[in-house]
Chain A
Amino acid sequence: MSTMLTSTPTARTLILGVGSPLMGDDAVGVLVAEALQARSDLPPGVDVIDGGTEGFGLIPVIEAYSRVIIVDAAQVGLPPGSIRRFTWGDIRVTANEHSLSLHQGGLNDALALAEVLGCLPAELIFYGVQPEQVAWDAPLSEAVSRALPALIEGVLGELNGIAAG
């Protein structure tokens, strides 16, 4: 496809955990990525990446996949620890034009730019977890900690769905 930057998307699936492990509940995406990377029973054709606090740098990463599952702390307006699955079509993500930086809203900006460039994967699924506390050196809250097993199961369920066709 001519809109792609550098690569042709493959039929592979990417699980992308994003966030900072030093920022309390913002660690949740990274923790899921680490837990899944440690497993040996993932279906073939699945890659797991800890995206850290990268912003625009995620565009060339996600465009190489036909299906991307992003796990992140997200303000979904539910009690702390609540998990919300949604897809690209469910949401409106706009670039923070007035506070555009590489980190502040980095994922929003990256996805908005990828859309303008026509580089979004065909299928984009989000697992958003409502954080309780996001602050430097804060521990993971109990609410988010309790949500982790269900979150990991949810993401694995998506993969098994692929395996089952």
Chain B
Amino acid sequence: MPETINVNIHHLTRVEGHGNIVVDVRDGILEKCDLEIVETPRFFEAMLRGRPYQQASHITSRICGICAVGHATASLRATEHALGVEPSEQTVMLRKLAFHGEMLDSHILHAYMLIAPDFLGVGSVIPLASSAPDVVKRALRMKQLSGDLCRIIVGRHTHPIAMTVGGFTHFPSRSDLEQLRERFEAIVADVDATVELFGTLPWPSFERETEFIALVQPDEYGFIDGRIASSDGGTLPVENYRQVTNERLNPHSSAKHCAFHRDSYMVGSLARYNLKHEQLHPRAKAAAEHLGLSAPCYRPYLNSAAQVVEIAHCVDDTIMLLDKLLANGVQPEDPAPVTLTPGARGVGSCDVPRGILFHEYQIGEKGLIEEANCIIPTGQNLGNIELDMRALVPTLLEEPQEQIAHKLEMLVRAYDPCISCSTHFLNVEFVNGAEG
């Protein structure tokens, strides 16, 4: 066994934002195994203070270019709970549709662009596009439909504009919904091909028993509202989220860690699958079987397989919702009224692609936000990733250092962390002669 292993991955690739993995093994003993989050804190909570409640969902939707609908929806639910707003059945259905658009968009990107290259032996999706263009084109085709679903329901591909406190400011036409219905029916073949492709991947066998946390609803595999459930037993109302998250600071990370019954817990697709797989649509259940998933599953790498299962579920659920809306007919309606009460507080929770998300606001009598708290899924997963790494490293000590590093990177990527949602400069290098 090698006496000394020193893995220092500075800037983890294919995750959102900046994180480092640092592993030190001395004299055969694991001395250090940390996932360092070096991203600058972004102070969104402070940014919200003093702003009118109507702006909160628009500001927080910009927290993330991927989870824009998720943040906006959690924000709206927090505001609505604070202001005593009850959205209509139509609003609930339209929000679910937008949420599915985003869930599909995010899962397709993660599975195809960030995970598949690891298994297919290429460094990123760019060489994959050369060696397997049909695979990448399928991903982009599915992604376009998810984006179009968001655009039609909430006004644009990303950063929704048509969702507001108590309802919508824009409504899809019947022909919009009919066309979507037709395109979703046609995309089922791509879903089947996706399940087929990911069924061929050699998922690592590593497993570690852990606690899973997700939102549960009595009658569906849902993503918006419900109660917080733990695989260790019991459920709690979302208002009690602080009892679950128990955020604490960590010396090596600018992100806080969370723990409920144990030292850490996992959120995201695998957590949802483990807690409510019985509520999946039949095609998604068949996908799980094809991918070798069975609950309880303690193999974190299979979080990506659970994402593929959720792709199948969301496509079928979208078709079901479109059928309901087409049967009912979408009626333009005014947003439900609000009641301003001094110091009113509300909590909103959604299970976004990466896991359970909480927003809590206190809103003053003039409608200005006095306090905000947002707890994102990646923050909740960080402690669990580290404990996985600490369990995994001792099993890898005989392998070359490069391979250890790669397996650790793959483990972190499996959690689909979103460390930062950042700007995107166009970094331009001018070809000779084009200067000036």
Contact A105 B157 (CB under 8 A): no
Contact size range, B: 35 or more
Contact B424 A55 (CB under 8 A): yes
Contact B424 A117 (CB under 8 A): no
For the complex with contacts A54-B65, A55-B424, A106-B65, 18 further pairs of A-B residues with Cβ separation under 8 Å are A5-B137, A21-B62, A50-B159, A51-B158, A52-B159, A61-B157, A75-B427, A92-B429, A93-B426, A100-B125, A104-B422, A108-B424, A108-B427, A113-B126, A116-B129, A117-B136, A117-B137, A136-B43
Q: Does B421 contact A (CB under 8 A)?
A: yes
A108 vs B428: C-alpha distance when bound (angstroms): 9
A116 vs B133: C-alpha distance when bound (angstroms): 9
Residues of B at the A interface (CB closer than 8 Å) are 11, 13-17, 40, 42-44, 47, 59, 62, 65-66, 68, 105, 109, 113, 123-126, 129-130, 133, 136-137, 140-141, 143-144, 147, 156-159, 420-431, 434
Q: Does A120 contact B (CB under 8 A)?
A: no
- Taking CB atoms and an 8 Å cut-off, the chain A residues in 66-123 that contact chain B are 70, 72-76, 86, 89-109, 112-113, 116-117, 119
Q: Does A126 contact B (CB under 8 A)?
A: yes
Residues of A at the B interface (CB closer than 8 Å) are 5-6, 18-23, 26, 49-57, 59-61, 70, 72-76, 86, 89-109, 112-113, 116-117, 119, 126, 128, 131, 134, 136-137
B418 to chain A, nearest CB (A): 9
Contact A108 B143 (CB under 8 A): no
Chain A residues whose C-beta falls within 8 Å of the C-beta of B16 in the assembled complex: 101-104
Chain B residues whose C-beta falls within 8 Å of the C-beta of A109 in the assembled complex: 126
A57 vs B140: C-alpha distance when bound (angstroms): 7
Given A5-B140, A91-B434, check contact A100 B428 (CB 8 Å): no
Contact B13 A99 (CB under 8 A): yes
> Of A23, A76, A119, A136, which is within 8 A of B428 by CB?
A76
A91 vs B428: C-alpha distance when bound (angstroms): 7
